Amino acid sequence: MVSPDPIGSRKLPRNFLTPWILLVLKQWSLHGYLIMQQLNSMGFAEVDHPTLYRELRRLEKEGHVVSEWQTDGSGPAKRVYSITEAGEQMLLGWSEVVSGYQRMIAGFFDLYAQAFGMAPPATGPDAPTEPEFNDNVT
Amino acid sequence: MVSPDPIGSRKLPRNFLTPWILLVLKQWSLHGYLIMQQLNSMGFAEVDHPTLYRELRRLEKEGHVVSEWQTDGSGPAKRVYSITEAGEQMLLGWSEVVSGYQRMIAGFFDLYAQAFGMAPPATGPDAPTEPEFNDNVT
DNA sequence: TGACCTTATGTGTAAAATGTACATATATGG
DNA sequence: CCATATATGTACATTTTACACATAAGGTCA
């Protein structure tokens, strides 16, 4: 009956990567492999690298980042990404979206504190002061 | 070139609804329509109702919520949902996941403050003290 | 030099989740 | 009787992500 996945089974929320990628590229010009490591250090447990590379190419196709091949140095060729002016604009917009997420999460933990311990205030959607089915699950 | 959508175009992050639904049902037993209104008041701009109803049925199939038809009262019949023991366990797990999101967002705004104004510390992925392409986008 | 590992980027495809359009039914107000 | 708000649902297409697999350069060590 219970779902087989351990709750948030490593799957990221939708579109979560995009603002982080833009922000990292606002700060540093890096190639994909280093972006991935940077994201790892910022709390993304295991970034799926095909997802990351595809997202980078999409951002480039949209004009939000540009890339240059860096063939010098050791190891295989690296595609180094830089943010564009349009990308910085997009980052500004995304920051407001992420700020909205932050507010929603704060609201989550407010209600969470109420639900676990404190008495609920009469501020429900319809002020359900008479809960109908609170007892049938004991 | 620029993406047609206004950034976070009303699309929610993946799986964002689930913990909120469980939390609302931890606090109140409600039917879908009222759950939707409650979510609206908590910052979800426009909850797509097919998505919500589908998620509720999935949660029920997984055993995390149960429902009862409420035919008395005015208006069409309402399917009133209540959280189960398994659902409360799942809510506990989700709260840790959401807490992880909260930390990631806090890290986002930390880097955001650095990128817009303050000098970057030498704590990059590989300490990129020599940015390669920071000038070619001016 | 040959096997193997790390770095680095990619393709192909299936699964998951969501969004849009459409459908159904009850009650209320004009 | 018709429009609207409430209330739930189906069908389908789109979007996004996850998993498996492929490719290639360079270094190490026997």
Residue B98 in domain: yes
Residue A73 belongs to domain with CATH number: 1.10.10.10
- B8 domain-assigned: no
Per-residue model confidence (pLDDT) at position A118: 65
Check if the beta carbon of residue A54 is closer than 8 Å to that of residue A17: no
Strand D nucleotides, any atom under 7 Å to a protein CB: 5-11, 16-21, 24-27
B48: in domain: yes
Yes or no, beta carbons of A112 and B125 under 8 Å apart:
no
Q: Are A40 and A47 in contact (CB under 8 A)?
A: yes
Cα–Cα dist A24/A38, whole Å: 8
Q: For residue A126, is it within any domain?
A: no
Task: Confirm whether B73 is domain-assigned.
Answer: yes
List CB contacts of B135: < 8 A, sequence separation 6 or more: none
Q: How far apart are CA B3 and CA A136, in angstroms?
A: 49
Span B98-112, mean pLDDT? 94
What was the pLDDT predicted at A2? 36
Banded model confidence at residue A74, pLDDT cuts 50, 70, 90: confident
Express each pLDDT in B52-104 by its tens digit: 999 999 999 999 999 999 998 888 999 999 999 999 999 999 999 999 999 99
Domain that holds residue A60: 17-111
**Contact assignment for B2 to A41 by CB distance below 8 Å:** no
Q: What's the domain count of chain B?
A: 1
Classify B64 as helix, strand or coil: coil
- Strand D interface, B 11-70, C-beta < 7 A: 11, 14, 31-34, 49-50, 53-54, 56-57
Q: Please report whether residue A47 resides in a domain.
A: yes
Q: Which contiguous run of DSSP H or E holds residue B79?
A: strand B78-83
Joined tokens for residue A101: 């997420």
Asked if A132 and B86 come within 8 Å (Cβ–Cβ), the reply is no
Strand partners, A70: A78
Question: Is B32 part of any domain?
Answer: yes
> Both tokens of residue A79?
């595609």
Closest CA–CA distance from residue A12 to any residue of chain B (Å): 7
- pLDDT tens, residue by residue, A8-19: 555 677 778 999
In a domain, A6, yes or no: no
